Structure 1
Amino acid sequence: MPKQTRQEIIKNLLNSNIVETQEQLVELLRDTGVDVTQATVSRDIKDMQLIKVPIRDGRYRYSLPVDNPATSAGSLDSVLSDALQSVGRQDYFVNLILSPGSGPAVASILQARADDRIFAIVPADASILLICRGSEEAIALTSELGILLEK
């Protein structure tokens, strides 16, 4: 089977299933008649730039990368509502405290948004430092992200 076809099947599986491990993805592919090894799936994950995003109960699932700013706002809201624990601001810095392991996924979504107010994103495992272009931008971002804490 061509790689492109297999990767299209993977996209469909990720959109219709919660896949937490490579082994689960191998089994789902085999259930659809695609005989693959874990090594092949691992290469597909890297090639497709799949990310792991947090789900409830401290677990993670594979997800397609967000490359459309129109859809990334909804994805960010969803991921942040689960992961965000607090938001702080100092001058033009905004610090996000997140649930453990969610920093890279949230940073990836923030980068995909290409928000002009953000100059740089410094992710860690359970936090992200946003460096804004100015204090006004930092205040606006802090306010927007703080609303998600109230949900």
Structure 2
Amino acid sequence: MADSIPSLQRPANRAARLSAIEQALAHYVVTSQSQLSQILADQGIAVTQATLSRDLDEMNATKTRLTDGTVAYAIGRAVEAPARSEAGGESKGEQQMAKVLSGLITSVAAARNLVVIHTPSGAAQYVASVIDRQPIADVLGTIAGDDTVMMICTDDDSAQRRADWLLALVSKS
């Protein structure tokens, strides 16, 4: 598990557990409940198999065959992220983001571990929501105002890489 989920401090409640499960399914190829249980345990979340099974059912997580043939848990479109397109090696999730965000981002700049994203008035919360719904390595989350989004990254270098990536992503159209 070299590419680990950032260590977030989580309260010991159901909502936090469901969020941790969603993050685990977005960042890892999870093929069994015991593997998922271990990922959660590594984050300090103890869960029984019965609770985990109920949580996965409630989240509508299903086992889905990935493009490489592996059968793994997925929630909604999470299975699309690892699949690479034939053309440019860009994931389907990135292609969707590019389509949605291309007319909504007016500027991008890195500032320490933050990426400041400017949008037309009223679009920032939508842009933040689109970013938050994709499993993006080194991104902890976003904060949105009316026309500005702050994307919080794990460190300064990650912020610069993500700023360059986001700018390239929305410049393709």
Q: Between 81-90 and 100-109, report the one with greater CA deviation.
A: 100-109
Distance 1:137 1:143, change over 3 A: same
1:74 CA displacement: 2.4
Partners of 2:98 and 2:172 within 8 A in 1: no
Aligned counterpart, 2:110: 89
Aligned counterpart, 1:124: 145
Structure with the larger strand share:
1
Distance 1:150 1:75, change over 3 A: closer
Count residues in correspondence: 86
1:145 CA displacement: 1.4
Structure 1 stretches (4+) deviating beyond 2 angstroms?
Answer: 69-75, 148-151
Gaps of 5+ in 2: 1-75, 81-91
**2-structure distance, mates of 1:150, 1:140:** 17
CA deviations over 1:96-131 (Å, ceiling 9, x no partner): 001122112211111110213111210112110011
CA deviations over 1:36-69 (Å, ceiling 9, x no partner): xxxxxxxxxxxxxxxxxxxxxxxxxxxxxxx524
Identity %, equivalent residues = 18
Where 2:152 maps in the other structure, the secondary structure is strand
Alignment equivalent of 2:156, drawn from 135, 138, 146: 135
Residue 89 of structure 2 corresponds to residue 68 of structure 1: no
Distance 1:121 1:75, change over 3 A: same
Partners of 1:102 and 1:126 within 8 A in 2: yes
CA deviations over 1:63-104 (Å, ceiling 9, x no partner): xxxx52435422321122101100011111100001122112
Where 1:84 maps in the other structure, the secondary structure is coil
**2-structure distance, mates of 1:106, 1:132:** 16
- 5 Å-filtered alignment, 1:1-151, equals 67-69=76-78, 70=80, 71-147=92-168, 148-149=170-171, 151=173
1:150 CA displacement: 6.2
**1-structure distance, mates of 2:148, 2:107:** 10
Where 2:133 maps in the other structure, the secondary structure is helix
Gaps of 5+ in 1: 1-66
**Alignment-mate amino acid for residue 136 of structure 2:** D
Partners of 1:76 and 1:106 within 8 A in 2: no
Cα RMSD (Å)? 2.1
